[in-house]
Structure 1
């Protein structure tokens, strides 16, 4: 037996304070409802509402990993530019200046890898508690 959907043509008007409206908006954002009217209809008709819960420690880890990825990407770009420059060198003096820059980039990469290891260790300790 197929369920036919009726058009919604009846209105229900309510007045809210700014605080109430903001509270409802925040509650709707935590659910899978796409519109406030969907949320209100489910509440009024006592239908189940799916609420999304966020893991704050995971959110913090993700933001840290995103920043680390940006840093590693920037360092990778610097290495690529250095290698391209090395391929176009025509004099030994240019080579020695490139080597100095390479050593600085190498130290930056090693420091970033150490930072990543520390962040992963912190996350592992948090999750394994």
Structure 2
């Protein structure tokens, strides 16, 4: 798939070459890594045209929380897959005893979901208290 054509207004018309020393180049490289710009050229164009540059900031204090949230998400997904499988087996079973077995087993999984959601809500509450302070 080819890149869409730029409008007449957005087409780049003139080539400007700039030479910088190593110190300025390193500063531009470090700034580019912190922004949404994909290249140093794009960063330089935005600086010259006084366009907005979005700086990206990563809060390392959130690493542990994000890992825990990702783990909870993974567990909830696995439990959901198990519930879907057991529901499928429940509908395929003919005997009442089998249906009772799958019902009881699925009930245990729903209790696990309840525990994980409670933990998730507790974490979200702590995050809200931290980030929504007045």
Matched with 2:84 is 80
TM-score normalised to the size of structure 2? 0.62
RMSD, matched Cα: 3.7
Q: Give yes or no for the alignment of 1:50 onto 2:53.
A: yes
1:67-123 residue CA offsets vs partner (Å, 9 max, x unmatched) = 434432332222122111111112234234323422331221111111111111111
Q: Which consecutive aligned stretches of 4+ in structure 1 deviate over 6 angstroms post-superposition?
A: none
Distance in 2 between the 1:33 and 1:88 partners? 54
Distance in 2 between the 1:90 and 1:11 partners? 77
Structure 2: gaps of 5 or more residues: 1-8
Assess if the C-alpha contact under 8 Å between 1:32 and 1:49 holds in 2: no
Say how many residue pairs are matched.
121
TM-score normalised to the size of structure 1? 0.63
The structure with higher relative contact order (CA 8 Å, sep 6+) is 1
Structure 1: gaps of 5 or more residues: none
- Closer, same or farther: CA 87–48 of 1 in aligned 2, 3 Å: closer
SS at match of 1:50: coil
